[in-house]
Structure 1
Amino acid sequence: MKVLPRRRRAVLINSVLGVAVLAGAGGAYAAVTGDSDSPARNGARTVAVTKGTVLATVSGSGSLSSPSDAAVNFSTGGRLTEVDVKPGDKVTKGQLLGKVDATAATETLAQARAALTAAQANVTKAEAGQASSAPNTGSSSSRGGSAAAPAPAATPTVDPAQLAKARAQLTQAQNAVDAAQRALDGTALKAPAAGTVASVSAKAGDTVSGTSGSGGGSAGGNSGSGGNSASSSAGSSSSLAGFVVLTNPSGMQVTANFSEADALKLKPGQAATVTLNAMSGKVLNAQVLSVSSLPVSSGSSSGGGNAGGGSAVQYAATLTLTSPTDDLRSGLSAGIQVVVGEASGALSVPTAAVSGTGANRTVTVVKADGTAVRTPVTVGLEGDSTDQIVSGLAEGEQVQLATVSSTGNGGFPGGAFPGGAGAGAARNRGGGGSGFRTGGGGGGRG
């Protein structure tokens, strides 16, 4: 047998290996990026195109508060003579909570009423005027020898300045009586609304200060009512302090912080769910009431999604609970998920089945014979875990889910032909999204 020279044999072997490598690489590349029909990869998972509801949500964190919570104080200070409630008591609107010594207030009112009576008498006197006699200017006798004419009768004269002064003093006296009456009323503290006594800060015999208010107490409810009230970080509800603090779960609200990207998606009226850290498994329904236009924090983000771009700016939203709130308490920490997009009766596939970005979206449809076809689709709403398919697929079709391998598809790192664009590259659909899948802040979906 004729033996080839060593140099020619090496060249021939290298040529054969080169052809084999190129052929194998070309086959792998076609399997990854080819647009024509090809057999489905062994072990690839498939799911059916289904019809249902696609939801997109954003999440935040905060705490419960009640606009009906109130801190009530005496408007007239003094020594407590009685305390009529204790923590845990349920009270009705107008119920007596306590009293302070009313002796001084009673005396002041009596003096004010006496001054008012005197002022009323002065006005009456000024209105009547002062009687004065006009001088007698007639002659003592007439030419005809008739008798002298009688002197004219006295006429009252009203001094306008004196009357104005008397009336001003009367107004002052009436104001003094009104103030004294309010002070006397303020020695008895009554509940401004129904609720449960959370705390009582003093006992009989103690001295309490007054608020100089205009009623039986001042209500210091939480600021998160109705309007745009997020002037501080959500999750730190208003601290109530007073002689008596009343709590009332009716009209319970939750104020939560959201990342700047998520906050832009919030609108009043959107539906939401609220979960409480202290009450596992309890889910409450809620509705967005208002969204603040001012940031509430500039420090580190404490939840509610990735603010994006390294920023930790957050905005607060106030939501009202529509579920029963009788067993809830102000201050309970909560997680909130707001539905910012919903497509009902929509064809959908898992997010992992869709490749590409923008208008260039595709899915891999697996036919009955096992062949896989790359199919362009139009995506509508991008949900938390599924995407709405507007066109390109039919209900019941099987689509292939993307697989993740540490070595990549076809044996190439990253699943792409060396130097190629990478057919298996992750899709980034924008940061800031978060949903039920993550249970908290979420970054871009891949």
Structure 2
Amino acid sequence: MKVLPRRRRAVLINSVLGVAVLAGAGGAYAAVTSGSDGPARSGARTVAVTKGTVLATVSGSGSLSSPSDAGVNFTTGGRLTEVNVKPGDKVAKGQLLGKVDATAATETLTQARAALTAAQANVAKAEAGQVSSAPSSGSSSSRSGSTAASVPAATPTVDPAQLAQARAQLTQAQNAVDAAQRAVDGTVLKAPAAGTVASVSAKAGDTVSGTSGNGSGGSGGGNSGSSGNSASSSAGSSSSLSGFVVLTNPSGMQVTANFSEADVLKLKPGQAATVTLNAKSGTVLNAQVLSVSSLPVSSGSSSGGGNAGGGSAVQYAATLTLTSPTDDLRSGLSATIQVVVGEASGALSVPAAAVSGTGANRTVTVVKADGTTVRTPVTVGLEGDGTDQIVSGLTEGEQVQLATVSSTGNGGFPGGAFPGGTGAGGARNRGGTGAGAGGSFRTGGGGGGRG
């Protein structure tokens, strides 16, 4: 047997490998460039053009809060004589929460009322004026034997300065009575609205400070006692409120959520939304956008649910009102929010993965009854979550081909692209290249982000 020289054998082996590589590359390139008119690709998925509702949403994350939550305090400080509620109690509007010793306040009110009575008398006296008699012209008994004299009638004289001073004193006295009465009333604390007691900061015998408003002041120098210890178990945003009693009320519950800078531009008051509680994933609540902030709330935070592109972490807050029943909800519960920013009812639609191209140059691959395919131009309306509205170019029931992305690609090349080429597609962005060029990524429907 004749053995080939080593060099000739190497040349022969390399030639065989080169032919194999070129054959494989040619097959791969043909697979990549196919898809105009011709038979449907083997194994390609097809779906029917359907009619229904196309929705476009953006997502955010936030927590529940209630504008009715409040921390309430006595307006008159003193020693607590009664504590009538404990954490967890449900109270009605006007229900008694507690009392402080009213002895000093009552004494002050009594003194103020006495001063008011004296001031009222002084005003009456000043208004009556001073009485003076006209000088007599002589003894009437010596004239013509007259038995009586004619004496001029007394005339009142009102001093304007004295009257003004008396009236000013009366006003001061009335103000003092009003203030003393408020002080007495302030020794009794009642619920300003219905709700649930989240915390009680003091117990009977403790001293609490007085305040002219709610939500501040808190307890004075007294010990919190057992009731105060219960406050540590209060949930939600009640921890941001202070007061002798903190009340929570789910009525009028709202959600404050953060959205990416790309998504917040799509939000408007009145848009419908759904709220999913993170602690109860099966609970979905209806909501409506109430307001959208024009100022950023964070930078460098990843807490928002929106899919902002370009690596930007700037977020904006939006407030939503819950329209579902809120009786069993608590302030502070975290939630995920989906806001409907676009809706097309009775629309023809296909999965986003079936649409190729950008802008006005959109096409789909229609699969005919005989298995052949035709690349068909279409006009896309609303780009929804995983589906696109088709305004023109298709009819209901037509079969369209979905784009396929394989980990090994066509012809054995990664990504289905000829070596050194631009790739066969994969995830694309609307409006440009890169993750953030077109704003939010679209999810669902197997389509991924498109450009």
Shorter-chain TM band: 0.7 to 0.9
8 Å contact 2:119–2:170 — kept in the other structure? yes
The Cα offsets for residues 111-148 of structure 1, whole Å up to 9 and x where unpaired, read as: 10011001101111111111223445799999999999
* Inter-partner Cα distance in structure 1 for 2:220 and 2:377: 62
CA-CA distance at 1:152 after TM superposition: 3.4
CA-CA distance at 1:427 after TM superposition: 2.7
Which region of structure 1 is more displaced relative to structure 2, 176-185 or 228-237?
A: 228-237
Which region of structure 1 is more displaced relative to structure 2, 258-267 or 19-28?
A: 19-28
SS at structure 1 position matched to 2:227: coil
* Inter-partner Cα distance in structure 1 for 2:292 and 2:242: 27
8 Å contact 1:49–1:347 — kept in the other structure? yes
Report the CA distance shift for 1:353/1:118 in structure 2 as closer, same or farther (over 3 A). Answer: same
8 Å contact 2:251–2:326 — kept in the other structure? yes
SS at structure 2 position matched to 1:225: helix
**Equivalent position of 1:151 in the other structure:** 151
Report the CA distance shift for 1:136/1:439 in structure 2 as closer, same or farther (over 3 A). Answer: farther
The Cα offsets for residues 291-335 of structure 1, whole Å up to 9 and x where unpaired, read as: 112221123231222333332221111111111111111111111
8 Å contact 2:429–2:441 — kept in the other structure? no
Report the CA distance shift for 1:82/1:285 in structure 2 as closer, same or farther (over 3 A). Answer: same
Report the CA distance shift for 1:306/1:234 in structure 2 as closer, same or farther (over 3 A). Answer: farther
* Inter-partner Cα distance in structure 1 for 2:242 and 2:361: 59
Which region of structure 1 is more displaced relative to structure 2, 76-85 or 397-406?
A: 397-406
The Cα offsets for residues 361-380 of structure 1, whole Å up to 9 and x where unpaired, read as: 11111112211211111111
Report the CA distance shift for 1:220/1:277 in structure 2 as closer, same or farther (over 3 A). Answer: farther
SS at structure 2 position matched to 1:230: helix
SS at structure 1 position matched to 2:168: helix
Paired residues in the alignment total 446
The Cα offsets for residues 344-377 of structure 1, whole Å up to 9 and x where unpaired, read as: 1111111111111111111111112211211111
Report the CA distance shift for 1:273/1:184 in structure 2 as closer, same or farther (over 3 A). Answer: same
CA-CA distance at 1:157 after TM superposition: 1.0
8 Å contact 1:57–1:436 — kept in the other structure? no
8 Å contact 1:64–1:254 — kept in the other structure? yes
Report the CA distance shift for 1:439/1:151 in structure 2 as closer, same or farther (over 3 A). Answer: farther
8 Å contact 1:226–1:289 — kept in the other structure? no
How high is the sequence identity, in percent, across the aligned residues?
A: 92
The Cα offsets for residues 56-81 of structure 1, whole Å up to 9 and x where unpaired, read as: 10001111111222211101000000
Report the CA distance shift for 1:442/1:273 in structure 2 as closer, same or farther (over 3 A). Answer: farther
CA-CA distance at 1:280 after TM superposition: 2.6
Structure 2 residue ranges without an equivalent (≥5):
none
**Equivalent position of 2:354 in the other structure:** 353
Report the CA distance shift for 1:295/1:232 in structure 2 as closer, same or farther (over 3 A). Answer: farther
CA-CA distance at 1:227 after TM superposition: 34
8 Å contact 2:132–2:155 — kept in the other structure? yes
CA-CA distance at 1:90 after TM superposition: 1.5
CA-CA distance at 1:387 after TM superposition: 0.7
* Inter-partner Cα distance in structure 2 for 1:194 and 1:383: 43
8 Å contact 2:200–2:231 — kept in the other structure? no
CA-CA distance at 1:54 after TM superposition: 0.9
* Inter-partner Cα distance in structure 2 for 1:229 and 1:62: 27
Report the CA distance shift for 1:3/1:230 in structure 2 as closer, same or farther (over 3 A). Answer: farther
**Equivalent position of 1:209 in the other structure:** 209
Over the residues paired in the alignment, what is the CA RMSD in angstroms?
Answer: 6.8
SS at structure 1 position matched to 2:53: strand
8 Å contact 1:350–1:386 — kept in the other structure? yes
CA-CA distance at 1:416 after TM superposition: 4.6
* Inter-partner Cα distance in structure 2 for 1:68 and 1:199: 15
Which region of structure 1 is more displaced relative to structure 2, 3-12 or 378-387?
A: 3-12
For normalisation by structure 1, the TM-score amounts to: 0.83
The Cα offsets for residues 359-415 of structure 1, whole Å up to 9 and x where unpaired, read as: 111111111221121111111111111111111111111111111134443555554
Report the CA distance shift for 1:424/1:144 in structure 2 as closer, same or farther (over 3 A). Answer: same
Report the CA distance shift for 1:17/1:183 in structure 2 as closer, same or farther (over 3 A). Answer: closer
8 Å contact 2:69–2:238 — kept in the other structure? no
**Equivalent position of 2:56 in the other structure:** 56
* Inter-partner Cα distance in structure 2 for 1:9 and 1:438: 55
Report the CA distance shift for 1:44/1:223 in structure 2 as closer, same or farther (over 3 A). Answer: farther
* Inter-partner Cα distance in structure 2 for 1:220 and 1:445: 63
CA-CA distance at 1:441 after TM superposition: 16
Which region of structure 1 is more displaced relative to structure 2, 223-232 or 376-385?
A: 223-232
8 Å contact 1:259–1:306 — kept in the other structure? yes
